[in-house]
């Protein structure tokens, strides 16, 4: 994990992590919709990282830590956004796919 965090080939992940927290989660305090959009954009960027480095430890740890948080964020989203994010999250993190399906409930 430490190697992944420090390795320059994961610099895009570090930017995504910053955007997720600073532009997404911090903004949700003032404006939920804008914050959720930033979180969505961050998750979409993870798709490129996952394509380049499938099964990277850093991605596994990210989703292990954030899966419940992501479910809470998208449970209050618009129906179309819910479906889009359920599909993307399940693709990126199949281990928690069953958990993500609860977003629609």
What are the tens digits of pLDDT across the range 40-77? 999 999 999 999 998 899 999 999 999 999 999 999 99
Residue of 57, 77, 70 whose CA lies nearest to 97: 70
Is the separation of the CB atoms in 103 and 86 below 8 Å? yes
Is the separation of the CB atoms in 71 and 102 below 8 Å? yes
Q: Which residues contact 97 (CB under 8 A, 6 or more apart)?
A: 89, 90
pLDDT score of 89 more than 90: yes
Distance between terminal CA atoms of the chain? 34
Q: Check residue 36 and give its pLDDT.
A: 97
| Residue that the structure tokens 């989703």 belong to | 63
């Amino acid at each position: 994990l430490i190697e992944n965090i420090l390795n320059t080939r994961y610099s895009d992940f570090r930017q995504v992590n910053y955007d997720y927290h600073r532009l997404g989660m911090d903004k949700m305090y003032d404006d939920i919709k804008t914050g959720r959009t930033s979180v969505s954009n961050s998750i979409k960027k993870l798709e490129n990282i996952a394509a380049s480095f499938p099964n990277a430890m850093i991605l596994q740890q990210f989703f292990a830590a954030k899966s419940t948080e992501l479910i809470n964020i998208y449970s209050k989203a618009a129906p179309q956004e819910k479906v889009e994010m359920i599909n993307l999250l399940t693709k990126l993190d199949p281990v928690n796919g069953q958990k993500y399906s609860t977003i629609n409930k």
